[in-house]
A and B are shown apart, each in its own frame.
Chain A
Amino acid sequence: DIQMTQSPSSLSASVGDRVTITCRASQDISNYLAWYQQKPGKVPNLLIYAASTLQSGVPSRFSGSGSGTDFTLTISSLQPEDVATYYCQKYNSAPRTFGQGTKVEIK
C-alpha cells in the first residue's frame, strides 16, 4: 500500500507568516491528493482536492501544489483561526490513506 508522510509533525509560526506543509507519497499518485483542516474538537474540513483545486468557500490564503509523489500545502499569511491539524489524503485508489497530520500553532 502507498504510504503518506507529512512533515513537519508540528510547527509554530507567527501571525502573518507563510507556512508550508509537505506531504510525500511512497508511490506516484498523480494529482489525486486532498488536504483537510481539522480544528480542535471539530469535524475535518476539505480545503483542497486534485492537489491544487481550492474547495468552495475556502480562503484564498490556502493553496496546494505538487504532483506525483511530492505535495505542498501553503498558507500565505497565517491567521489565528488557522490553528488546526492539517491532513493530506490520497484518493487514486483504495486504501485512501491519510497522512499522520501536521499541527499548526501560533507563536
Chain B
Amino acid sequence: EVQLVESGGGLVQPGGSLRLSCAASGFTFSIYNMNWVRQAPGKGLEWVSYISSSGATTYYADSVKGRFTISRDNAKKSLYLQIHSLRADDTAVYFCARDLVVRGMAGFDYWGQGILVTVSS
C-alpha cells in the first residue's frame, strides 16, 4: 500500500525556519517525481515545489522561490522541504504528493495526510 507521511510541522515565529519531511512506503520511491502542495486555512490548493526522481531538477512557485528548498534522499525514501524566512501567509497545511507517471508528470495520484505549519508570533 502506498503511503506518504509528513512530519515536522508546527508553530513557528515569523522569520523562522522549518524542515518538513515526507516518508514514503509501498512503492519504488526513487523512480517517481515528487511535489509539495499547500492549502491555507479555508483556501484552495497551491502547488509549491517539484523534484525529479533523481533529484537533479527542481522547480518552485514564485511565492516561495529563494526561501524554500526541496530535496530528497532516495536511500531513505524521504522527501524534504526546507523553509526559511517564514511569513504569516505561509501558514497552511503542507502535502507531499506523488506524480502519477514514473519519471513523468500527469497529476498527483497519492497524497500525504498533510502537516500544518502555523506562522505566528
Which residues in A have some Cβ–Cβ distance to B below 8 Å? Answer: 1, 32, 34, 36, 38, 43-44, 46, 48-50, 55, 85, 87, 89, 91, 94-101
Contact = CB atoms under 8 A, between A and B. Distances in A.
B25 interface: no
15 contacts: A34-B106, A38-B45, A43-B95, A44-B45, A44-B95, A44-B108, A49-B100, A89-B47, A91-B106, A94-B50, A96-B59, A98-B37, A98-B46, A98-B47, A100-B44
Contacts of B107: 34, 36, 46, 48-49, 55, 89, 91
Interface of A is mostly: loop
Interface of B: 35, 37, 44-47, 50, 59-62, 95, 100, 105-109, 111-114
B112 A43 contact: yes
